[in-house]
Amino acid sequence: MKNLFLSLCICLTFLYPFTLYADVSGEMVIVHPTKPRELWITHADNNTKIEHIYTHKSESNFHIIDVVCQKDGDYIAFLGRYGDEAAGEYKHNIYLIDRSQPDEPAINITKDRFALIHRRGFDISKFGDVVFSFSDARERQTKGIYLIQHSELQQEKPFTKLLVADGRAPVWFPDGKRIAYYEGNTISFMTVETFKKNNLDGWGSYPIVSPDGRYVAITHSFFGATFEIALYSISTQNLLSTSDLIHNSIFVDFKWSPDGKHIVYTRYFGGKHYKVSFNPSTRKLGKQIEFLEDEFLDDHVLVYDWTYQGTYPVEPVSRLTTMWGKIKQ
């Protein structure tokens, strides 16, 4: 009987990770697949529960091309493109809406000052601070990563602060104090307040920090097409695991699931979404599996972000908020 019990325990030990890390779920904001002026809210595991939350009514030929959510907060930031792109006469701006004020229009926080803000190149922190990367030879500003602090959202023309010249694809750590980004093939972490930074002992691009702040996943690419995802420990700098992709892919999106149990990405060609499981016990990545295969609003969603992240023991910091009425003054 004792041997039978021991055998059962061993079997459960092997089976447990596969049942625990099987699904990707949670509330998310999506860009309407055929009406790119609209944002909707739904659930990854239930496409029948869906609600319209915003339609952009100004600017002609307008498309929402990317969206990020303030995790566990009310702000939604989205990247809008409008104008005649075929003629090279188009603009990119970052807009902000407040879910607690559904009848208020979005505010433009970059004010036509940056011609090319990168897709997959902006993020909003738990405090409402926005970072973004920008590059365009037509503009006089220095190329790189800029910060708009939450307090600047009250201003008619929010002040943009250069953090890193030539840096790209900034993302916030869960603590809202640090960012990860890449420059060339170098992955770096920076404390925004002090500008103190350190580099990862490994090459790659497009870093994404896990919801608990312990791991960073990066992409390995060849001529823009990603062939591998690599996972590092932030504290030890050790390479923990890699996952080879079935197809070399140009990514539209690359992020962690809110519970930290999957890394997900979206292929540019075909718009398919894939999840790569992560087992915190072994700290290993699994193989990629397609998900979000069901249609939302009679078509396949391409652009989305989760509205929340899981609860983890990170350093507590009092949350700052700015009243929407003050921002619009």
The pair of structure tokens assigned to 217 is 């996943």
pLDDT of res. 61 = 87
Task: Tell me the Ramachandran region of residue 223: left when phi exceeds 0, alpha when psi lies from -120 to 50, beta otherwise.
Answer: left
pLDDT for the residue numbered 72: 86
Range from 143-152, 201-210, 293-302 carrying the lowest mean pLDDT: 293-302
CATH of the domain at 138: 2.120.10.30
Structure tokens at 88: 């090279």
Q: What whole-number distance in Å separates Cα of residue 313 and Cα of residue 264?
A: 23
Average pLDDT over residues 267-282: 88
Domain assignment of residue 149, given as a range: 25-315
Among residues 49, 95, 102, 48, the alpha carbon closest in space to that of 74 is found at 102
Residue 150 has pLDDT above 70, yes or no: yes
Q: Is residue 41 part of a domain?
A: yes
CA pseudo-torsion sign 52, 275, 71, 110: negative
Instruction: Indicate if the pLDDT at residue 11 is higher than 60.
Output: no
Question: Which residue from 242, 159, 145, 238 is spatially nearest to 195, judged by alpha carbons?
Answer: 145
Distance between CA atoms of residues 159 and 111, nearest Å: 11
Is the pLDDT assigned to residue 205 strictly greater than 50? yes
Within a domain: 31: yes
Mean pLDDT of 83-108: 85
d(CA 302, CA 36): 10
Q: How confident is the model at residue 16 (pLDDT cuts 50, 70, 90)?
A: very low
The mean pLDDT value of the chain amounts to: 83
Say how many domains are in the chain: 1
Assess if residue 7 is contained within a domain: no
Once rounded to an integer, what is the mean pLDDT over residues 65-87? 89
Instruction: Return the SS3 of 113.
Output: coil
Bridge-partner residues for 279, per DSSP? 284
Count of CB atoms situated within 10 Å of the CB of 146: 25
**Can you give the pLDDT at residue 296?**
64
d(CA 235, CA 21): 24
Domain membership flag for residue 9: no
Checking if the pLDDT of 325 tops 90, the result is no
Q: Which residue has the higher pLDDT, 200 or 48?
A: 200
> Which of 125-139, 227-241, 310-324 shows the lowest per-residue confidence on average (mean pLDDT)?
310-324
Tell me the average pLDDT across 132-155.
Answer: 85
**What is the structure's pLDDT at 180?**
98
Which residue has 């990707």 as its token pair?
A: 24
Q: What percent of the chain has pLDDT over 70?
A: 83
Please indicate, yes or no, if residue 16 is contained in any of the structural domains: no
In a domain, 19, yes or no: no
Contact 266, 302 (CB under 8 A): yes
Residue 174, φ and ψ in degrees, nearest 5 = -60, -25
Task: Evaluate whether residue 298 is within a structural domain.
Answer: yes
Q: What are 280-303's pLDDT values in tens digits?
A: 999 999 988 888 766 666 677 888
Q: Which residues contact 85 (CB under 8 A, 6 or more apart)?
A: none
| 5 falls within a domain | no
Is the pLDDT at 200 greater than 90? The verdict is yes
